[in-house]
Chain A
Amino acid sequence: MQRTSNWGPDYFHKVVDCQWACPAHTPVPEYIRLIAEGRYTDAYMVNWTSNVFPGILGRTCDRPCEPACRRGRVEDEPVAICRLKRVAADNKAGVTARLPSPAEQSNGKRVALIGCGPASLTVARDLAPLGYEITIYDGEAKTGGMIRSQIPRFRLPEEVIDEEVGYITALGGMELRMGSRIDSLKALLAEGYDAIFVGSGAPRGRDLELPGREEARANIHIGIDWLSSVSFGHIDKIGRRVIVLGGGNTAMDCCRTSRRLGGEDVKVIVRSGFEEMKASPWEKEDAIHEDIPILNFRVPKAFTHEVGKLTGVTFEVVHAEYDESGRRRLVPSGDADEHYECDDVLVAVGQENSFPWIERDAGLAFDDAIGMPQVNPLTMQSSLPHVFFGGDAAFGPKNIIWAVAHGHDAAVSIDKFCRGEDVSLRPPPEFSLVSQKMGIHEWSYDNDISNDQRYRVPLRDKVVALKDVRLEVELGFDRELGFKEAERCLNCDVETVFADKLCIECDACVDICPMDCITFTEDGEEEDLRGRLKAPAENPTQDLYVSGTLATGRVMVKDEDVCLHCGLCAERCPTGAWDMQKFLIEMTHAGGRHG
């Protein structure tokens, strides 16, 4: 195999699985170490520069980092990365002094942002300190977009939204036009903005056109619209018996909100199997904890009603069959249809984009098959060079952290575009690789591996929690629990770096490695090497770290898969051929700022 190159950032970045998996590439181990040290404000700022909404994301993020976490491969569960973010947010001191100062003067460029959700707010944060004059349009009266309208208050208190949106609006140079919905792209184009960013989300909830839909309409609600009405205080109760149709995170929010608005008998009924549901496993867990049964493999057939009033829903019972290519088909099981009585139905079967305000002759190319604008996934640029997209508006419904990542990319593009530079040339990230050795057996990180299992986030008592839709149900880790959970982090960014020339092949690293990661062997092709290591390297998504040829003609091969980054290889190495070096990589944001 070819010797692993140390000079490029990608190899070592990939070893930091959590950071690699995060769309915004938040330096996760870096902030977790800061939390363990009690430096909450520093930890918060590491987050803030890279993902903009630490307090919000620390409660609501879809956490792509956690399934990627190496800890989940060496024991049962990953580090509770997401909830540690909240520890930083909850315990920080004031951060105002650390925020970028407002630009001293305008750079004369005007940018319009459509929608005031996470994508637009990220663009605003990245561009405002550079002197851009920003105008944000949103049809709602309040900022935050879906963060405020769709995420229930018992998961995310309003103060957290106000605080973190406030940090952005305080950067100055922006005008918020709340309550003014954009109805025409053409009209906006005519206003002569230097650039336009569309961050209008995926605001339309899918409906279910089944028999009885029209007749029973008074008690059938579209999930995201209903959640939004609850958030803004327009709805404060629901029937005693509620059926939620759908298996995504919106369905979970709907059923849990129903439980707090008078729903006593609340069920989620879903077409697919329980395992394949789109909702995150922890959101399903939370729903079940609130006494909400989830019934699977039931396809809704009709809404039943009497004298114009909903009485229930009829379902066909199905099971899953898989064809040769592994594609799933739901086929009727042959059992009799089932009928469940209810007073209200919430339909949460997906949401979609909707661009009625973009005239098809405005010059912006659409992919007609899916009804979506053509957007370059690297630059976020549309076919109109000065119109950019991001968040759910760009490629359909995703989540907050993706919206943030899009926002950063779009801001880089807008800045380059306004400077007359080529938007396709992306600024490289900034990185450093620094030895953590402090003494013979001392490292600047805590290399003693915690044996603790993942800690549960304490919850408010269920009886109390279910009484108030605005009462936050998760209490969050306190400092002590936060410390213990932070200690579970393996510090994957402190990388094992090998210097071929210093190695005397004494085997000390092989003997001490608790995970059998290291092998000295004859060189070969990757496939061949993977099979004959001390422990076979069976996870092809994880790289092999390979040295050049050593004195005996062999090579050193390290399987990155389950390395604990405990540094024992480096401690037992007599010549310093192994060293533990911290790899810190930060993305380059608009104007060359890093985070």
Chain B
Amino acid sequence: MTYITKPQLHHPGLAKNALGFTRRDYEGSVSTLCAGCGHDSISASIIQAVYELELPPHRIAKLSGIGCSSKTPDYFLGNSHGFNTVHGRMPSVLTGANLANKDLIYLGVSGDGDSASIGLGQFAHAMRRGVNMLYIVENNGVYGLTKGQFSATSDKGSKSKRGVVNHDAGIDLVGMALQLGATFVGRSFSGDKDQLTPLIKAGLMHKGAAFIDCISPCVQFNNHVGSTKSFDYVREHNEAVNRLDVITPRAPIRVDYAPGESVRVQQHDGSILSLHKLAELYNPNNRAQALGYLQARQARGQVVTGLLYVDPNAGDLHEAMGTVDTPLNELGEAELVPGAAALAKINAGLR
């Protein structure tokens, strides 16, 4: 919690994007989370990603549930649409919003409690339906707002701040997302913005259900020896499979890797994901291999990060349902109430 508002003054050399906005224009109100919270770094990464993608703030909708993580949409994109839903219900409200207006860019922000406990079913169905969204879980493995109980993603055998050992198995949301059919799956770490920001950019541009599990240390309750979600633990056990550069048609980025070392994936909207391989044999286009790799590394105590799986040709819920091109909320009475003749025609077709 900080008492003063962040000063409006900014660095005199602060650059503007093509829309004329600086990075600061994508900020929200000042964070009320504890000092040092990993979630604030994720907010900063989201701000950076949206600034770099040159997205107009009013075309983005940010939705969240309940918890520390779900408070964060107040701290970024102050000029975007926002919806703070009931606990664990962000995926349903977002699905509804997406059905009504498919033209907005949807960002769902949730936490390990919100998504892996009370909202687990909601999470599962949003993934399997292919709702066109970026779903970020700010995963600190602890219930911070209620003073540090284990959450559903706490690893078995890890210790609480008071030294209690967790005897329940942790839920691996990345593994679940892969099994449930998410078409873009990544994991990252709030302490590594160089990795996180491009992942957020790629996820925002992905058509279909994109999921990022972002480990975000809780400095207050889960940053001690014995925790598997602390800064030190994640830094020691981080195994990044690749480094990502997002190349948009509008703002090409020079990538200086030798051709053999990188994989290029073109997404639906023309953006190119250039993946610099760090793990020799890792292929981000193979769901089954991704699952196997994750589990093998997890068994060795490693935290696999990077873009783990992407299907560049994925479709989304609207495609599956065959909705019209015009967002439903823009249809007028004439289209929505076509009249008796149209009804008769439909009925005739069903006879």
Seen from chain A, the residues whose Cβ lies within 8 Å of a Cβ on chain B are 73-75, 440-442, 447-449, 451, 504-508, 510-512, 514-517, 535-536, 538, 551-552, 562, 564, 566, 568, 571-575
Contacts and interface: CB of A to CB of B under 8 A. Distances in A.
Contacts of B11: 515-517, 535, 562
Interface in B207-225: 217, 219-220, 223
B234 to A, nearest CB: 11
Contacts of A536: 13
Contacts of A516: 10-11, 14
Contact of B37 (A75, A442, A508, A566): A508
B4 interface: yes
Interface stretch (B40-48, B256-264, B280-288): B40-48
A507 B3 contact: no
Dominant SS among interface residues on chain A: loop
B44 A568 contact: no
Nearest to A577: B36
Contacts of B10: 514-516
Contacts, number: 100
Nearest to A71: B9
Contacts of A508: 35-37, 40-41
A511 B40 contact: yes
A206 B2 CA distance: 61
A504 B223 contact: yes
A507 B44 CA distance: 10
Nearest to B235: A552
Contacts of A505: 191, 231
A538 B13 contact: yes
Contact of A507 (B1, B9, B30, B41): B41
B214 to A, nearest CB: 13
Given A512-B6, A573-B35, A562 B43 contact: no
Contact of B36 (A74, A551, A568, A572): A572
Contacts of B217: 506
Contacts of A75: 9
B35 A574 contact: yes
A506 B191 contact: yes
Contacts of A562: 11-12
A571 B223 CA distance: 19
Interface residues of B, number: 36
Given A514-B10, A562-B11, A568 B4 contact: yes
Interface in B1-28: 1-14, 24
A223 to B, nearest CB: 40
Interface string B34-62: 11111011011000000000000000000
A504 B231 contact: yes
Interface of B: 1-14, 24, 30-31, 34-38, 40-41, 43-44, 190-191, 193, 217, 219-220, 223, 231-232, 235
B36 A506 contact: yes
B28 to A, nearest CB: 12
A564 B35 contact: no
A448 B4 contact: yes
B132 to A, nearest CB: 29
Nearest to A74: B9
A49 to B, nearest CB: 32
A506 B4 contact: no
Contact of B14 (A535, A564, A574, A575): A535
B12 A574 contact: no
13 contacts: A449-B7, A504-B219, A505-B191, A506-B36, A507-B41, A507-B44, A511-B44, A512-B6, A512-B40, A515-B11, A516-B14, A572-B31, A574-B34
A574 B38 CA distance: 11
A392 to B, nearest CB: 37
Contacts of A504: 36, 219, 223, 231
A574 B1 CA distance: 11
Contacts of A448: 4-5
Given A504-B36, A508-B35, A566 B41 contact: no
Contact of B9 (A441, A535, A564, A573): A564
Nearest to A537: B13
A552 B231 CA distance: 10
Nearest to A448: B4
A160 B12 CA distance: 40
A199 B59 CA distance: 71
A564 B6 CA distance: 11
Contacts of B5: 448
Nearest to A450: B7
A507 B7 contact: no
B17 to A, nearest CB: 16
A441 B1 CA distance: 8
Given A571-B35, A572-B40, A575-B36, A506 B6 contact: no
A506 B24 CA distance: 20
A75 B235 CA distance: 40
A511 B43 contact: yes
A538 B13 CA distance: 9
Contacts of B231: 504-506
B12 A74 contact: yes
B29 to A, nearest CB: 12
B42 to A, nearest CB: 10
